[in-house]
Amino acid sequence: MQFISKNHQEYEPCLKDMEDTVAKIKSGEVGDQVWLLEHPPLYTAGTSANDRDLLNPQFPVYGTGRGGEYTYHGPGQRVAYVMVDLKKHMNTPDIKKYIWMLEEWIIRTLCEFEVKGERREGRVGIWVAKDDGTEAKIAAIGVRIRHWVTFHGISINVKPELSHFDGIVPCGIADHGVTSLHDLGKKISMQELDESLQKNFDYAYLA
């Protein structure tokens, strides 16, 4: 697995580069890659997005072929685009197993910063219980798979402007909010998170 830091990336050119890379992975020209980056403030609509969940389009809105609904990307949020040929790592390629792998990757990464990330039945992403008794999403997952090569991926809130999420109903879930590592008192840097993401990525999760 090759981890590549792409720093701040405009969305549309990045999406095109990702499409090109997926084709090259499929043809065997390049190997598996994870891109670590940040986007400018924007909203993306997955294949299940409902128009009524776009409350205030204060930033550009992009349709995308990934699964899921509306989500926000912006500075202070680490986006990890994961491009893996599942046929090389799974006896029987399994999308649900791949999603579980991404969840486990996030959970183990957060654990290094003493944050307990958890799955919730019927809710996409990774959630944390806050001190005030509420639950909030700290990481989102949205993937697409073409010829069993994955793309799109995950996002983890490090220190984004949380009010920017108010323009949408994140992932169609109105009953719970969003949080970040800094909001939870974990003042870590992007570099520290990236090091943990690289450390905790493990193909064994796919087995």
Q: Give the lowest-confidence range in 4-18, 58-72, 138-152, 170-184.
A: 170-184
Question: Given pLDDT bands bounded at 50, 70 and 90, which one contains residue 174?
Answer: low
pLDDT tens-digit profile of 90-127?
Answer: 989 999 999 999 999 999 999 999 999 999 988 889 99
Marked catalytic residue, from 140, 149, 171, 197: 171
Gyration radius from the chain CA atoms:
16
14 is catalytic: no
- Write down all domains in the chain, each with its CATH number in brackets: 2-206 (3.30.930.10)
What Cα–Cα distance (Å) separates residue 40 from each residue in 7, 26, 44, 205? Answer: 11, 29, 12, 31
Could you give the percent of the chain with pLDDT greater than 90? 77
What's the one-letter identity of residue 120?
Answer: R
- This prediction's pTM: 0.94
Instruction: Report how far residue 190's alpha carbon sits from residue 39's, in angstroms, rounded to the nearest whole number.
Output: 14
Q: Which two tokens stand for residue 181?
A: 């590592």
User: What is the model's pLDDT at position 108?
Assistant: 96
pLDDT tens-digit profile of 16-57?
Answer: 999 999 999 999 999 999 999 999 999 998 888 888 889 989
User: What is the model's pLDDT at position 112?
Assistant: 96
- Cβ atoms of residues 5 and 79 within 8 Å: no
